[in-house]
Structure 1
Amino acid sequence: MTVDSEKSILKAIKENKLISLFQPIVSANSLEIVGYEALIRGPSDKAWHSPQLLFSLAEQYGIGNRIEIHSINTHLKRRKKLGLQGMLFLNLSSFCISSSEFVISEFTNRLKRSGISPDQVVIEITERHPVQDFIPMISILDELREQGLKIAIDDLGAGYSSLRQWSEIRPDYVKIDGHFIQNIHEDSVKRQFVRSFCEIAIDIGCSIIAEGIETVEELETVQSLEVDYLQGYLIARPQRKPIKHTPARLRQLNGNSTFLSNDLQVRALCKPTLTIAPQLPVRALADKFYQDKSLHVAVVIENNKPLGIITRNSLQQLFSSHYGRDLYGRKPVVLIMNDEAITVSEETEIERLSNQITDNNDTLPDEYFVIVDKNEKYAGIGSLIDLLRAVTDYRITAARHANPLTMLPGNLRINQQIDTLLSAKTSFVLAYCDVDNFKPFNDTYGYARGDDVIREIGQLLARHSQLEQDFVGHIGGDDFIVIFRSIDWEARCRRILDHFKNHALRFYDEKHRECGGIPATDRSGNQQFYDIISISIGVIQVNYKHFTSHKEVASISSEVKKQAKKTKGNSLFIDRRSYQDTFTTDSQSSELPNNVVSINHSDIYK
């Protein structure tokens, strides 16, 4: 049988009978298809149709590398025939890459003949053969990178060597193993793992792909954790003729998404529990608690609306009283339930719920709270311990990414906030604030007094922002961002400038206050006179229909800030242009789109 199988596999290679499938990979932000992973299968009428058995047999017969290289050729031919666009992820083992059978020049020539540029190809190193010797492997991967190809590692967290591979190889993409994605919405530990992977990826400059997305809940949770790309059955299964556009159901799902990456919602804490009718006898509920030792709370519902809760502890206390069982055993549970339990919408931010509980209760409330959907129908139960853990995780993450001088959110959270609002189809106003003449001030008075100025500006921006609506971030140095959703944003900007204009002189010594500035040496060594520090604010009005990511917003806001700085003194520059079309410039470009209306220069404010 083994001889027949080996001959059968070799015959399938010779006759090009292996089947090439493609599974789409989508952007976590927009859910648009960015590329495909190519997967090989044996003929459907063979026992080794599955890739696991195919490669297992191939390695047993010593033809594993041959199968891998033939699979690559099959994928390239099929991709060309289908006319697929975007990135192409090709699986190769470390054994094959480092073998004499894999020749880089031949591989790149095959790419060119297939009409695909090397910079569109990602070599995905499989976990099947962990890298044993990293030095020669890194050398080979560097050669591939020199040709324009990118590198990915597969199944992060699945094997003992995957973290070391990440550290040594420094890939362009990392795929998180599906184990960490399955039911991630119900598992805070998995969420913390994925969050940590994403933080490391940001630090070393690679992108994260979450594999195994199968449910809407998994999708929404992973979207909230800074993952870059998604792959899984919910999007599409591997197919011979893969989808070329994101399914309408998925686009609609993303459009209706209410996830917030910076403000974790109560929905993430939601867990199922026993639901009971109001007329259920108390003794019958006691039997259910007795039969299921993992059950700690039951929710009394009627017409899908929660009426109250009964905990295991409260029932035990009732039955432990002298006549408790006799008095209440036959009575309906509605008589003993806690009908004052906290009920909260699943869209409530955990920080707000935490504040609500601590502000409105002199004593600790029940250890559970009921979660309802937007129609106030029962959705599940949450616990205070999970809430405490989530709030703690959130605050630790926020502190980690805060600017240490002002403790305002830094670049990561600023970018998250912008992408979150765009994903939620929310328009907003972004004000880029920069301090004029700060360097000579800092050089003259020293960093300690310069830090005082930076801290005070951060506090000034926060005071003039609406706590519930607006977001203040510190990019770094003397650059700040305010994301306004409050409707009176322009008046707020003007109050900020007025306040700073009236108070800036107090940062200076008397002699500099009298002459209205500082004589100092510029970068070229020339003596210059620098006016009193001021704030320039460049404002763009961001319509979610015309922007897709924080990179586009950053590109425009930087240019608008430069326009504001062209006017001496405290100035406000409002960009009145209308961005009607999709951006054609990439995130690295500093050019402004051409499809604009003129800027109203009367909006420059001194």
Structure 2
Amino acid sequence: MEEIGYGLLDRTLIEKITERWHHGGVGVILLHVERAGNGEMAATRQWMERERRLFGQYRMDHDHYFLLGRQREDVRLDRLIAQSATALRECLRAAQRSGQHDIAGYAIGSSAIYPSGVGRSAESMIYGALKEAMLAANEPLRHPVRGRNEDQDETVVAAQTPVGAAFQIGALAKQIPVFDVKTRVSEVGKLFEMNERVQGAVIVEGQRPVGLIMKEKLHQLLAGPFGIALYWNRPIEKIMDDHPLIVDAESSVESVSQLATARDHAKLYDVVVITRDERLLGAASIRSILESMTNLRTEEARTSNPLTGLPGNASIVREMQRRIVEGRPFAVLYADMDYFKWFNDRFGFSQGDALIRYCASVLQEETRLIAPDGSFVGHIGGDDFIVMADAGQGETLCRSVLRRFDDGVASFYGGADNLAVSDRSGNRVDQEGVSLSVSLVRWDGDRPVTPENLSQAAARLKKRAKSMRGSSYVGGGVFEMHRGEERSQRGASHGYESTL
């Protein structure tokens, strides 16, 4: 097998791949290892010796990318990659069972590179495939870490980072070497040579980060003609990246992920510098950011409501916290159907599910029309829903949702004449059919608030909305308890009480 390189993608690697992708594409298999110098690579070498389609290897820190060239007579590329990845996994498992090697945590991901006819550059396509393989390797700590506890004869399994723990990018900050702008290149180079695991350093002026130097880029620069003679004794500020990605610790992982992956390809794997109060806190690798995002998305899919497909409670709390951190005013709509139990008992659970889906579609469609930018619709559970939008759009959205709900709910009664409603105790109430109650809570962005404060205010206001006949909404501030209760207005078909 030809060794392609370590560090940055270079022209040689691109040429090797483009030479081989015309026979149905090139396969990419990623092996991520938790620490350098463990037994994974010893086991992997056995797989490499057997894998006749392997033509190249590319390494970046703890990520090892293996490139497979498909031949004309081979099975489809996706099947070929799957078979090869399975073989690699079996080699690692065999090494674990034999006890010959110390196998730490690892993850395997894969992707494919196909020739494109839409004008994408080869470099762009290769970077995209490498990133896709990285995202696919989203369970590095779920593989057993073979080791022996001195007191117990059992397998030790690595602990997993709780999903959602890295909501803010500051939670992913790790220590990174720091150098002053006037430090000589030689000092930085010596640090990299002495510390294999150090992949970059932040350059500061005082306590403020102003630049970044990555090991691979420094090595590439010094390896060029007269590189050492030109740069070895110069200040690091002359060759540093003076426009690295620097983010505040309270920025969301989602927003940082978008910024990091939108960078130029040459910076795609550079660490993200994290500050607090404009002082250096640490740095996060692109792998840790994408891994955190993958875990968050997996949790969102797991907790989404199976009936409506809308985000569930974990995502709702995370979205609410994100908006609070950003400090911009926003509105929370808490919607709840009145006498839904009566409807379920009268028309059956199937129709009840259909009515819940209808309510979800009303909220989604009206929110898209009135608050299309940055809005959020979630399903708390049962017949309870939540919407978050800009503060100025809340009241219009409430009125539109109530009108749309009432216009369409009659179709779920199947032409029934008697729609007299009874409460949970079986007592008749002064209402016909199901209605919708909405509480509208506005936060001004100034007074400190928590998701619990917002939830409590929404529940309080919703209780008042449910005391009104028909579909209605009640609005108020987060911390208002009774102010404005004497001001109540009702429309012909939609009641509302405003304390804003």
- Give the TM-score normalised by structure 2: 0.53
Q: Which residue identity is paired with 1:396?
A: T
Alignment partner, residue 380 of structure 2: 475
Give deviations 1:326-355, integer Å, cap 9, x for gaps. 333233323322234322222211111112
Amino acid at match of 2:474: F
> Could you say which residue in structure 2 is the equivalent of 1:63?
none
Q: 1:266 to 1:560 in 2, by over 3 A?
A: closer
Question: What is the CA-CA distance between 1:433 and the residue it aligns to?
Answer: 0.8
Tell me what 1:385 maps to: 287
Matches within 5 A, 1:191-230: 192=160, 195=162
Residue in 2 aligned with 1:572? 473
Over residues 50-83 of structure 1, what are the superposed CA-to-partner deviations in whole Å (9 max), with x where a residue is unaligned? xxxxxxxxxxxxxxxxxxxxxxxxxxxxxxxxxx
Q: CA deviation at 1:557?
A: 4.1
* CA offsets 1:4-41 (integer angstroms, 9 cap, x no match): xxxxxxxxxxxxxxxxxxxxxxxxxxxxxxxxxxxxxx
1:269/1:382 contact within 8 Å kept: yes
Pair 1:450-2:355 in alignment: yes
Deviations 1:234-276 (Å, cap 9, x if unpaired)? Answer: xxxxxxxxxxxxxxxxxxxxxxxxxxxxx81121122222222
* Match among 417, 420, 431 for residue 333 of structure 2: 431
Q: Tell me which residue corresponds to 1:306.
A: 209
Match of 1:400 in 2: 302
Structure 2 unaligned spans of 5+:
1-148, 153-157, 496-500
2:252 is matched with: 349
Report the residue type matching 1:273 in the other structure: I
- Give the residue type in structure 2 aligned to 1:288: L
Q: Give the conservation status (yes or no) of the 8 Å contact 1:461–1:472.
A: no
CA separation of 1:357 and 1:519: change in aligned 2, threshold 3 A: same
Q: 1:539 is matched with which residue?
A: 440
* 1:81-480 equivalences in 2 (<5 Å): 192=160, 195=162, 264-359=167-262, 365-375=268-278, 377-411=279-313, 414=316, 430-436=332-338, 438-439=340-341, 443=347, 446=351, 449-460=354-365, 462-463=367-368, 472-480=377-385
CA shift digits 1:170-228 (9 cap, x unpaired): xxxxxxxxxxxxxxxxxxx87x45x48xxxxxxxxxxxxxxxxxxxxxxxxxxx85xxx
* Residues 514-553 of structure 1 deviation map (CA, whole Å, 9 limit, x = unaligned): x788689998999999856542213356799999976676
One-letter amino acid of the structure 1 residue matched with residue 379 of structure 2? H
Whether 2:485 is the aligned partner of 1:598: answer yes
The 1:534/1:266 distance shift into structure 2, 3 A limit, reads same
Q: Partner letter of residue 302 of structure 2?
A: R
- Could you say what secondary structure the match of 1:357 adopts? helix
Distance 2:176 2:361 in 1: 49
Which residues in structure 2 correspond to 1:38-57 (within 5 Å)? Answer: none
Structure 2 distance, partners of 1:363, 1:570, is 56
> What is the alpha-carbon distance in structure 2 between the residues aligned to residue 270 and residue 413 of structure 1?
23
Contact 1:426 1:543 survives alignment (8 Å)? yes
Given that 1:473 and 1:481 are in contact with CA atoms closer than 8 Å, whether structure 2 keeps it comes out as yes
* CA shift for structure 1 position 465: 7.6
Tell me the equivalent position of 1:563.
464
**Which secondary structure does the structure 2 equivalent of 1:271 belong to?**
coil
Give the number of equivalent residue pairs.
337
Cα-to-partner distance string for 1:125-179 (whole Å, 9 max, x where unaligned): xxxxxxxxxxxxxxxxxxxxxxxxxxxxxxxxx9999xxxxxxxxxxxxxxxxxx
Tell me the amino acid that sits aligned with residue 398 of structure 1.
Answer: E
TM-score normalised by length of structure 1: 0.45
Q: Return closer, same or farther for 1:469/1:452 CA change in 2, 3 Å cut-off.
A: closer
Contact 1:576–1:599 (CA under 8 A) maintained in structure 2 = no
Q: Distance in 1 between matches of 2:326 and 2:184?
A: 45
The AA in structure 2 aligned to 1:410 is G
Q: CA deviation at 1:479?
A: 1.2
Q: Secondary structure at the match of 2:244?
A: coil
Structure 1 gap ranges (5+): 1-157, 162-188, 197-223, 226-262, 581-594
* Structure-2 change in CA distance of 1:416 and 1:360 (3 Å): closer
Q: Give the Cα–Cα distance (whole angstroms) in 1 for the partners of residues 473 and 265 of structure 2.
A: 46
Tell me the CA shift for residue 412 of structure 1: 5.2
CA distance in 1, matches of 2:397, 2:382: 22
* Distance in 1 separating the partners of 2:447 and 2:486: 18
Is the contact made by 1:460 and 1:496 (CA closer than 8 Å) also made in structure 2? no
Match of 1:29 in 2: none
CA apart distance, 1:290: 1.5
How many angstroms apart in 2 are the aligned matches of 1:422 and 1:521? 40
Counterpart amino acid of 1:373?
A: R
SS at match of 2:298: helix
Report the equivalent of 2:20: none
User: Is the alpha carbon distance of 1:283 and 1:487 closer, same or farther for their aligned partners in structure 2, counting shifts above 3 Å?
Assistant: same
Partners of 2:150 and 2:331 in 1: CA distance: 46
Residues 530-587 of structure 1: CA deviation (Å, up to 9, x unaligned): 856542213356799999976676566445424323444432223589757xxxxxxx
The separation in 2 between residues aligned to 1:295 and 1:578, in whole angstroms, is 49
